[in-house]
């Protein structure tokens, strides 16, 4: 199984880019909660050992790497709200979060490595879209870890306010428990109303009753 390395970063350096940020987002698929993005500029001489795609790491290792990344790298985290997801769409909202994360870095990067196959329209910095980037680029892998830790914490906090949906374990994704809670407990202000399972509960049930 391949692990991310710094080959994409080194290639960008050879083209004259010295400050390279990896950008990733988490939370496109959930039925509830914001979409979260992170931008990370690594010091390639001080990469935390064990850095990998967040999906391949245990929760304990992810948490330790998150702490270390905040210590040794320039890290910025940003979100797009449920309201923005419903107003625009999840793709545009995730790009908004990415744009905000890049804007929040302490210094403007001169090149971006962005996970996925699209570059957000609002980014005026030279960039490359990298499919499965969190498994290929150390900078994107770092961003994937930071974004996931941040969003998971938000969902744990929201779970305290709205118990029963299982957000502390499913992070708002459509698990069986979450779907059943939607039917039994109803829709919260943190649910994405444009997503079909939520939309159907809000509007289809009403149309049937009339």
Task: Indicate which CATH number applies to the domain containing 102.
Answer: 3.30.420.10
Average pLDDT on 93-114 reads 98
Average pLDDT on 19-30 reads 98
* pLDDT for the residue 1: 56
* pLDDT for the residue 205: 54
Average pLDDT on 94-99 reads 98
Answer whether residue 56 is part of any domain: yes
Residues making up the annotated binding site are: 24-25, 115
Answer whether residue 181 is part of any domain: no
Answer whether residue 199 is part of any domain: no
Enumerate the β-bridge partners of residue 131. Answer: none
Average pLDDT on 4-15 reads 97
| Tens digit of each residue's pLDDT (9 = 90 or more) over 29-78 | 999 999 999 999 999 999 999 999 999 999 999 999 999 999 999 999 99
Answer whether residue 46 is part of any domain: yes
Q: Which long-range contacts (CB under 8 A, 24 or more apart) does 94-97 make?
A: 94/25, 94/27, 94/28, 94/35, 94/37, 95/120, 95/121, 95/122, 96/120, 96/122, 97/25, 97/34, 97/35, 97/36, 97/37
What are the DSSP calls for 124-156, one per residue? -S-EEEETTGGGTBHHHHHHHHHHHHHHHHHHH
* pLDDT for the residue 2: 77
Answer whether residue 192 is part of any domain: no
The helix or strand, by DSSP H or E, that contains position 197, with its residue range, turns out to be: helix 196-199
Residue numbers of the domain that contains 145: 7-152
Average pLDDT on 141-162 reads 98
Say whether pLDDT at 206 is over 70.
no
pTM reported for the whole predicted model: 0.95
Summary mean pLDDT of the chain? 95
Residues making up the annotated binding site for a divalent metal cation are: 24-25, 115
* pLDDT for the residue 105: 98
If one counts the domains in the chain, the total is: 1
Residues 145, 163: Cα–Cα separation, whole Å: 26
């Amino acid at each position: 199984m391949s692990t991310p390395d710094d080959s994409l970063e080194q290639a960008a350096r050879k083209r004259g880019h010295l400050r390279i940020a990896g950008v990733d987002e988490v939370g496109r698929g959930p039925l509830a909660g914001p979409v979260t993005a992170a931008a990370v500029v690594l010091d390639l001489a001080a990469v935390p050992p064990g850095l990998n795609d967040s999906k391949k790491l245990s929760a304990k290792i992810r948490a330790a790497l998150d702490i270390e990344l905040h210590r040794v790298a320039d890290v910025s985290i940003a979100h797009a709200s449920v309201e923005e997801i419903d107003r625009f769409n999840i793709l545009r909202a995730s790009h908004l979060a990415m744009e905000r994360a890049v804007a929040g870095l302490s210094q403007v990067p001169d090149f971006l490595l962005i996970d996925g196959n699209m570059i957000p329209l609002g980014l005026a910095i030279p960039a490359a879209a990298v499919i499965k980037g969190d498994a290929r680029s150390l900078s994107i892998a770092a961003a994937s870890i930071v974004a996931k830790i941040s969003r998971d914490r938000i969902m744990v906090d929201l779970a305290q306010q709205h118990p029963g949906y299982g957000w502390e374990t499913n992070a708002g994704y459509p698990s069986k428990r979450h779907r059943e809670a939607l039917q039994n407990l109803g829709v919260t202000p943190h649910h994405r109303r444009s997503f079909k399972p939520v939309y159907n509960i809000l509007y289809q049930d009403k149309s049937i009753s009339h």
